[in-house]
Structures are given as structure tokens and as C-alpha cells.
Copies of this chain bind each other. A is one copy, B any other.
Amino acid sequence: MELVHSLTLHLSAFVSLSDADREVLDKALRKRARILAPRQDIIREGEKPRFVNVILEGWAQRYKQLADGRRQILSFFVPGDLCDTNVFILKSMDHSLSAVTQVRLAEISQREFQEIIETSPRIAQALWWSELVTVAIQREWTTSIGQRTAYERIAHLLCEMFVRLRTIGRTQERSCEFPLTQSEIADATGLTQVHVNRTVQEMRREGLIEIRNKRLEVHDLRALMAVAMFNPNYLHLEAGGHECIAPE
């Protein structure tokens, strides 16, 4: 639909794609589309993975539930993100994927995926990069939950989402879409909803940020990054993510 797919923008953070490459991607994404309602599952733990999912529109999440119901959100996906490259090999999912907002996604079969990789080495490389970044994000989340305080953790999540959205051109000067509820932030950061509320309010009082109407307003990105100890190196952006630290 769009002139430039989010996937193209996402991969362009690593390599510049040729027109032919873009054509290949566009074609792949047109094949098999799916629209999901907010909170609907995309695939659940235990099921056999059959497609690579590419988010075209909306936010999605990866999560895992313990036997007694405790839930950990493991990552968020925004437009352009791929869920589980090459996951076909596995017999069954060890976690679930679901929509956060309404989501439009493209399913790519193993055959199609293989074909893309063989057709365009440049795309293959970019997909590898994307996969490595996904893993690096997971590591950063582990670090965040293991070492950062509640305040730092939430600040870090906000920085990450803001920067990721910026690479696909989905931010304004100092704001971006932000459809997460406090309860979802809680499940993602290993905190309780009540404590997320306390903490977000503190950040607001201090003039760092504001979240309302499903939008995040970042008043002072530099300061937010500083308190979060946000180092964008793990996103492996070509520009080094240093343009992140916006000139004030």
C-alpha cells in the first residue's frame, strides 16, 4: 500500500537496497496478508511455526507465560519488524506472539523466504543483520530487567521504542505513537502496574516525558537517555545511532 514498505525502511538502516531488491520485498509482502484485532494471538506457544511474519502496520508483542499465569513480554514489534526468521526448523513455538494494537502483517512461507535469500544476497545480509539485532535487543532487555531500577528500566524502554520508530520514520520531532498500557509496560519490565504508574508519574513531574492518548512525548531525549544509560550500540544502526543523541 505504502510507497515504501516499513520493511524496506527497517532494512535500510543497515544496507541501501537497490530498486530490484525493493521490488523483491514488495512482491513477497503482497502474497499473504493478515489483519488482527488488538490483543489477538498471532501464534501460540506449542504451535508449529509455518511462516515468517512481517509487521506492516501496528504493534505486536512476543510473550511467555509461566505455569501459574505470570506473564513476561519479551519484545515489541513495530512496522517493518520480522518475527522469527527461519524459525521453520523448530517443531514448536516456545513462546507466543500477539497483536498489541490492530495489526496488519504479511506471512512469508519457507519456500518464499528461501527464494528471496537466494535471489538477493544483499537482502539476505540485511535479514541476518535484522535477526542479530533482535537477539541483541533481547540481551539488552535481560540486562535492563536484571540490573536497572524501575525508573531506569522504563526510561530505557521508552528510549528504545523511540529510536526504533525513528529509524522507520514514525516519529515527530519529540513524540511518537505509543499504544502500550501501563499494564503492558509492567509485563515487559518485570514490574507491577501500580509501580509503573508511580514511576511514569515521577518522570512526568520531572518534565522528562508525558504519555497520553497513546502518544509518547519526549521532552528531553538526552536526559532520558542519560538516566536510562541508553547506549544505542546494540541496535547496530549504520549511523551508529549517534544521531540519536539529538543536538539540543
Chain A residues with a Cβ under 8 A of chain B: 45-46, 62, 64, 66-68, 70-72, 74, 86-87, 89-92, 94-95, 125, 128-129, 132, 134-136, 138-143, 145-148, 189-190, 229, 231, 233-234, 236
Contact pick for A139, options B67, B136, B138, B148, CB 8 Å: B138
> In the complex, A125 Cα to B64 Cα: how many Å?
26
| Residue pair B94, A136 in contact (C-beta under 8 Å) | yes
> In the complex, A234 Cα to B45 Cα: how many Å?
10
| Residue pair B143, A89 in contact (C-beta under 8 Å) | no
| Residue pair A64, B236 in contact (C-beta under 8 Å) | no
| Residue pair B91, A147 in contact (C-beta under 8 Å) | no
Contact pick for A72, options B86, B146, B233, CB 8 Å: B146
| Residue pair A74, B139 in contact (C-beta under 8 Å) | yes
Q: A78 → chain B, closest Cβ, in Å? A: 19
Contacts of A132 in B (CB 8 A): 86-87, 89-90
Contacts of A190 in B (CB 8 A): 145-147
CB-based closest 10 A-B pairs: A146-B190, A94-B234, A72-B143, A70-B147, A72-B146, A138-B138, A67-B229, A145-B145, A142-B142, A64-B143
| Residue pair B91, A236 in contact (C-beta under 8 Å) | yes
> In the complex, A144 Cα to B129 Cα: how many Å?
27
Contacts of A94 in B (CB 8 A): 136, 139-140, 233-234, 236
> In the complex, A89 Cα to B236 Cα: how many Å?
10
Contacts of A71 in B (CB 8 A): 147
Contacts of A67 in B (CB 8 A): 229, 231
| Residue pair A66, B145 in contact (C-beta under 8 Å) | no
CB nearest to A87 among chain B residues: B132
Contacts of A136 in B (CB 8 A): 94
Contacts of A62 in B (CB 8 A): 139
CB nearest to A15 among chain B residues: B89
Contacts of A135 in B (CB 8 A): 134-135, 138
* Contact of A148 with B66 at beta-carbon distance under 8 Å, contacts A86-B128, A89-B132, A90-B236 already known: yes
Contacts of A46 in B (CB 8 A): 233
> In the complex, A70 Cα to B146 Cα: how many Å?
10
> In the complex, A148 Cα to B69 Cα: how many Å?
11
CB nearest to A188 among chain B residues: B146
> In the complex, A46 Cα to B236 Cα: how many Å?
11
Q: A169 → chain B, closest Cβ, in Å? A: 23
